[in-house]
Amino acid sequence: MSIEDIMTKVVVSVRMDDSIKVIKNIFENTSFHHLLVVSSGKLVGVISDRDLLRVLNPNIGTVAETHRDTAPLNKKAHQIMTRELVTLPADAEISDAIAVFNTQTISCIPIVDDKLKPVGIVSWRDILRQL
C-alpha cells in the first residue's frame, strides 16, 4: 500500500514570516498537530504543536499575564520551525514511512512532489489506523 492511500491530503501551511500568534490560532481552532511552512510553494519547514508549546509562556491568557509573557507571540514561524526535513514522495510505500519513524525522532512526514511542493502529510497515527 502506498503513502498516498493513507496520507492526509488537506495540508495546512503557513509562511515563514507568519507570527506565532497566527500559528497559535490555527492550532487552537483546528485538529491539526503539524503545520507545513512554505516559501514560494516549496516546503521549507515543519512546526508541531509541541514546537509551539515550547515557546509559549503558560501565563498567556491568565490574570498573571504580562507583556513579557506575550512577547513570544510576535516571533515568526521561521524562528521555531524544524528545518532539517525528512520527506517522502506520494508513491512511497507504508513500509518506507515506518522505517523513517523507526530511525528518526519525528512525529510526521511531509509528502512532497518532485518540486518539494507539499501534497500531503503522514503521522504515525495514520499508520496505526492502517495496521
CA separation for the pair 33, 118 (Å, rounded): 16
Looking at residue 66, what is its pLDDT?
Answer: 77
CA separation for the pair 44, 117 (Å, rounded): 10
Full-model pTM? 0.89
Confidence of residue 4 (pLDDT cuts 50, 70, 90): very high
Per-residue pLDDT tens digits for 63-80: 886 778 777 788 999 999
Looking at residue 110, what is its pLDDT?
Answer: 98
